[in-house]
Amino acid sequence: MELNLEETYYQAILAKDSAYEGTFITAVKTTGIFCRPTCRARKPKRENVTFFKNTKDAILSGYRPCKVCNPLERLDETPEFIKTLLNELAADPSIKFKDWDLRQRGIQPSQIRRWFLKNHGMTFQAYQRAFRINSAFKKIQQGEPVTSVAFDSGFESLSGFGDSFKAIFGSSPRNSKHSAIIDLTRLETPLGTMFACATAEGICLLEFSDRKMLETELKAIAKYLNATILQGENRHFDSLRTQLTEYFEGKRTDFSLQIHPLGTDFQQAVWTALQEIPYGTTSTYRRQAARLNRTEAVRAVGNANGMNRISILIPCHRVVGTDGSLTGYGGGLWRKKWLLEHEQKHLTTK
Catalytic residues: 316
List CB contacts of 275: < 8 A, sequence separation 6 or more.
314, 315
Tell me how far apart the alpha carbons of residues 43 and 342 are, in angstroms, rounded to a whole number: 31
List CB contacts of 304: < 8 A, sequence separation 6 or more.
263, 266, 267, 270, 271
CA–centroid distance for 238 within its chain: 15
Tell me how far apart the alpha carbons of residues 260 and 257 are, in angstroms, rounded to a whole number: 10
Of 317, 205, 312, nearest to 263 by C-alpha is: 205
CB 208 within 8 A of CB 192: yes
List CB contacts of 340: < 8 A, sequence separation 6 or more.
282, 317, 318, 320, 326
Secondary structure class of 171 (helix, strand, coil) = coil
CB neighbour burial string for 214-245, b if at least 16 within 10 angstroms, e if fewer: beebbebbeeebebbbbbbbbebbebbeebbe
How would DSSP label each residue in 279-311?
A: TT--EEHHHHHHHTT-TT-HHHHHHHHHT--BT
Beta bridge partners of 150: none
